[in-house]
Structure 1
Amino acid sequence: MTTTPIRVGFIGLNPDSNWAFMAHMPALKSLGDRFEIIGVANSSAESAKRTAKTHGLKYAFETPDALVASDEVDLVVVTVKVPYHFELVSKALDAGKHVYCEWPLGNGLEEARKLAALAEEKGVVAVAGTQARAAHEILHLKKLIADGYVGRVLSTSVIGTGGSWANQTSEALYYLFDKKNGATMEDIPIGHTLAAIKDVLGDFGDLDATKLFNFDTVAVTETGEKKLKTAPDQVMVQGALASGAAFSLHYKGGTNRGTNFLWEINGTEGDIQVTAGLGHAQMVQLTIKGAKGEETELVDLMPDASVYEGQPEFPGARNVAGIYARLAEDIQNGTKTAPTFADAVVLHEILDKIEKSAAAKG
């Protein structure tokens, strides 16, 4: 049985070095003929033409409005900066298109709620790119916990680094350091990681947060100019899961010579550690080890090597491919297996609670 490819139009695809090029393009290519990238709309018509020529795309749309209005596009993929998500996703939904929007869905909770309500009203498949949820390692970890590897979960703790959000940045990434853009360390790596934790261990209970600033300015590497930094570089959260298990999280801006990602799950029967070289669970290779019963040393608990066969080498692209595969099933079968806009609202609500808790401390 064959199905007609889902025709994809990108808003925000640059042939140089952005996320869509590094993750979405190889992800779609790995899925064979399930998708066909039809065209692109960028910040300018010239940029769209350059991208279309580089990738051999059929259409270089003059504007995002032209892309969402095209009968040639079934799925609109929005991969621009967060402040533009609301306007562009709204246009796509109003045009009756299916949508894949990168996380964060909106610049804050209210935008996310409005987009989720609009998607529900239009009856389309609307997916938020929390791709750590589709990582083979996270799916395997979820099964390990469900099968009782650690017994009853007593506690879980996370240490992570953001890569950015310390005291240095490139000009292109400075927007991450301005809180009003909705792309802080809490919004991006913490948000992605919390989505994975929720899938594996269930809902969160009461949480208490503290945010600190070691740096009030950030140096732009190209010029040495120091600019105002309004995004925190230390985020600490503690509390409990809905199950009653203890929960703690500490994310740090930049990277360090020690632990850059460690997620530990401790239970009545065993312990599991998930490690990586950076705190972005959505785009790094995760390693799982554990021990239970009489074992005294951690052993490898990775998924079977066969699950990686034929998949993109870059973990970010591999995880995005997992989201696209679910999205295709949802479009073709009317299911809801991919992370929905409603799921994104729940995640935004968790981040909003963390923000309010930290803000209450002054």
Structure 2
Amino acid sequence: MADPIKVGFIGLNPDSNWAFNAHIPALKSLGDTFEVAGVANSSPESGARTAEALGIPRAFATPADLAASEDIDLVTVTVKVPYHFELISLALDAGKHVYCEWPLGNGLEEARKLTALAREKGVVAVAGTQARAALEVEYLKQLVSDGFVGDVLATSIIGTGGNWADTTSSALAYLFDKANGATMEDIPMAHTLAAVKDVLGDIGPLKAVKLSNFETVTLTDTGETKPKSAADQVMVQGQMASGAAFSLHYKGGKNRGTNFLWEINGTEGDIQVTAPLGHAQMMQLTVKGARGDETEMVDRMPDPSLYSGRPEFAGARNVAGIYKRLADDIRNGTATAPTFSDALALHELLQRIAHAAEKGDAF
């Protein structure tokens, strides 16, 4: 059996953050494939507390020390987006494989530079667009490929962000400043678009509108009010590269009606994917469909046996799917996990949407 791949986390805390709730259960579910060998946080004291709480062998004083260590094979970066570029660059310069949370960079230019550096170093560099590894998305891709809907005529998406309306917590306030690269478009919408591209192919010409119903956001834990520059309504219309009609509407907050619906309509059948929130990367997705003479949607879920032994939380289950692909890529020289190049293409799509919204033209 191959030796475990030794993972070093930059940004792991045992107090309810994404890395703790998704990455750690994901890695545990994969048995001896990986070993969490080290951690580095914003301070040596924070890293030491995490290492002690989670039984991690080493706490490094700085991220640079972790990246340089011979005891680390893979650096996983799970910090806020504005810090991605510096920390990923450290890991790549040290010749380490990288798993970075999406978004890859704070904007397109950072993504371009990181993708070029990863190619130069020749390492496995993965961006965490984990909706692509959801069992439901993989099955949906197979359904469409097998002709369940026939020729795709149209696809439409409605999603809510949970955040990006007029209230949030202090810990999440940075999401409401578009300069931080963590807007509704950057996170839930982009994660969903990554899955759409996997299932239906690239998106062609499009038009877009961005609106803000709220100019400020209130922090519920302190009562403080802060300015808000991130849009809370994003609408995109156009065509898939295949020629099928495409429409999308993401809304800030959460509503009492539809919070996630992705519909695919074709010449032979129709599919609906639903969830409690518009974060396809971490919500349990439900797939239903009908074709031919069927008049009502019925469940079209993956075989239940596929869920056995995997994390119950969909976010952790999807992250585990990315780690499994990543391990195969490291050991076999393949590129099955979402690469930095894939992430760059997604950043380019977001830039096209932003330009279309600014200019009022198709891009």
The interval holding the TM-score normalised by the smaller chain is over 0.9
What SS does the corresponding residue of 1:258 show, helix, strand or coil? coil
Matched, 1:4 2:28: no
Deviations 1:23-47 (A, max 9, x none): 0000000000000000100011110
TM-score, with structure 2 as normaliser:
0.99
Counterpart Cα distance in 2 of 1:346 and 1:152: 25
What SS does the corresponding residue of 1:77 show, helix, strand or coil? strand
Amino acid at match of 2:178: K
Q: After superposition, where does 1:199-278 map in structure 2 within 5 Å?
A: 199-278=198-277
Amino acid at match of 2:88: V
Q: After superposition, where does 1:123-134 map in structure 2 within 5 Å?
A: 123-134=122-133
Q: After superposition, where does 1:67-146 map in structure 2 within 5 Å?
A: 67-146=66-145
Report the alpha carbon displacement of residue 361 of structure 1 after superposing the two structures with TM: 4.2
Counterpart Cα distance in 2 of 1:262 and 1:86: 33
What SS does the corresponding residue of 1:329 show, helix, strand or coil? helix
Answer yes or no: is the 8 Å Cα contact 2:207–2:360 preserved in 1. no
Deviations 1:92-114 (A, max 9, x none): 00000000000000001110010
Counterpart Cα distance in 2 of 1:165 and 1:278: 13
What SS does the corresponding residue of 1:52 show, helix, strand or coil? helix
Amino acid at match of 1:4: D
What SS does the corresponding residue of 2:170 show, helix, strand or coil? coil
Q: Residue 312 of structure 2 corresponds to which residue in structure 1? A: 313
Amino acid at match of 1:357: A
State the identity %: 74
Q: Residue 300 of structure 1 corresponds to which residue in structure 2? A: 299
Counterpart Cα distance in 1 of 2:119 and 2:222: 46
Counterpart Cα distance in 2 of 1:253 and 1:306: 36
Gaps of 5+ in 1: none
Deviations 1:120-145 (A, max 9, x none): 00000000000000000000000000
What SS does the corresponding residue of 1:198 show, helix, strand or coil? helix
Amino acid at match of 1:249: L
Deviations 1:227-258 (A, max 9, x none): 00000000000000000000000000000000
What SS does the corresponding residue of 2:38 show, helix, strand or coil? strand
Counterpart Cα distance in 2 of 1:161 and 1:22: 22
What SS does the corresponding residue of 2:234 show, helix, strand or coil? strand
Q: After superposition, where does 1:153-192 map in structure 2 within 5 Å?
A: 153-192=152-191
Q: Residue 17 of structure 1 corresponds to which residue in structure 2? A: 16
Q: Residue 358 of structure 1 corresponds to which residue in structure 2? A: 357
What SS does the corresponding residue of 1:235 show, helix, strand or coil? strand
Gaps of 5+ in 2: none
Q: Residue 347 of structure 1 corresponds to which residue in structure 2? A: 346
What SS does the corresponding residue of 2:270 show, helix, strand or coil? strand
What SS does the corresponding residue of 1:359 show, helix, strand or coil? helix
Q: Residue 279 of structure 2 corresponds to which residue in structure 1? A: 280
Report the alpha carbon displacement of residue 77 of structure 1 after superposing the two structures with TM: 0.2
Counterpart Cα distance in 2 of 1:262 and 1:47: 40
Amino acid at match of 1:295: E
Deviations 1:134-165 (A, max 9, x none): 00000000000000000000000000000000
Give 4+ residue runs of structure 1 displaced > 2 Å after superposition: none
Counterpart Cα distance in 1 of 2:143 and 2:233: 31
Q: CA RMSD in A?
A: 0.7
Deviations 1:4-62 (A, max 9, x none): 00000000001101100000000000000000000100011110000000011110100
Amino acid at match of 2:210: K
Counterpart Cα distance in 1 of 2:209 and 2:72: 44
Matched, 1:26 2:9: no
